[in-house]
Amino acid sequence: MIKSAIIFNRNLSPLRFVVIAEEKLKLNFMEKLNDWQESLLQHLDAVLYVDSDTVFLSPVQEIWAMFQNFNASQFAGMAPEHEDTNAGWYNRFARHPYYGELGVNSGVMLMNLTRMRDFRWEEHILPIYREYRLQLVWGDQDILNVLFHYNPDRLYIFPCDWNYRADHCMYMSVCDAPDGVKIIHGNRGYFHSRAQPIFNLIYSTIEEYTFQTDVYSNFIRTIEESLVLPSNSNCDKLLDKFLLNPRKHFKENQYEEVT
């Protein structure tokens, strides 16, 4: 995820990463974790939270710009959990309140921390956990769904192309993404399996990419040449949606160092 964000940071804007890791990885990130304060990173005004199983296919600055779309009451931005009521999880299985018709997914989240602190975030989150802890399946995501069910005016909804998952294409294409996939989310292990080859291929190509080499040749063309078509995977058939933004930002024979 971090590597993909750097690749698409073409104007070299300063990027700051705050890493949240499992207990077994804690020592590796101790320096970062020591920056945490008692409440919501009090030295920061806003953050973009992304799960570790996400890959950027567009500049971070593009999603960051959506903070400007927030109205005066909104302090968070998320994408819907699903686009189709027939396949939605929350509307069929949830045993707790959730946002809107289909719930929201917490894998990519814009957070205005100043407004969240003013809202007294912890005073709302902890009671939700205590009341619904036995009904929670998806952890923090379920807690956020309960919170925004009761506070819908606090949430800004952005389109599915900013949190694109296999659920959006594995059966049929349910995310229009007219401007292409912006952030790909390989939840449930799709980056590490061949169930949807395009997810695995994008992840592995980013992983193997060497900085200061041509992105078009070593990322875009590698994916184009490696994906076997025709494919039984419906997601693979949407190759052009996945590569629309990389092709826009990196042209053939236009070498540019990425540092």
Structure tokens given for 200: 């695995």
pLDDT tens for the chain, 259 residues long, are 776 777 777 666 777 777 776 777 766 655 544 544 456 667 889 999 999 999 999 999 999 999 999 999 999 999 999 999 998 999 999 999 999 999 999 999 999 999 999 999 999 999 999 999 999 999 999 999 999 999 999 999 999 999 999 999 999 999 999 999 999 999 999 999 999 999 999 999 999 999 889 999 999 999 999 998 788 899 999 999 999 999 999 986 555 555 5
Is 197 among the domain residues? yes
Is 257 among the domain residues? no
Count how many domains the chain has: 2
Is 255 among the domain residues? no
- Domain end among 106, 138, 161: 161
Say if residue 148 is in the same domain as residue 171. Answer: no
Say if residue 148 is in the same domain as residue 186. Answer: no
pLDDT at 256: 52
Provide the 8-state DSSP code for 31: H
Is 258 among the domain residues? no
251: enclosing H helix or E strand: none
Is 259 among the domain residues? no
Say if residue 155 is in the same domain as residue 173. Answer: no
pLDDT at 37: 45
- Domain end among 161, 179, 214: 161
Is 72 among the domain residues? yes
Say if residue 70 is in the same domain as residue 181. Answer: no
- Domain end among 136, 161, 186: 161
Say if residue 90 is in the same domain as residue 185. Answer: no
Say if residue 112 is in the same domain as residue 131. Answer: yes
pTM: 0.83
Say if residue 42 is in the same domain as residue 118. Answer: yes
Say if residue 137 is in the same domain as residue 155. Answer: yes
Say if residue 238 is in the same domain as residue 194. Answer: yes
Say if residue 182 is in the same domain as residue 155. Answer: no
Say if residue 103 is in the same domain as residue 7. Answer: yes
pLDDT at 252: 67
Q: In which domain, by residue range, is 219 found? A: 167-249
pLDDT at 229: 79
Say if residue 64 is in the same domain as residue 115. Answer: yes
Residue whose entry in the numeric block shows the structure tokens 């890959």 = 55
Is 51 among the domain residues? yes
pLDDT at 36: 41
pLDDT at 66: 98
pLDDT at 31: 55
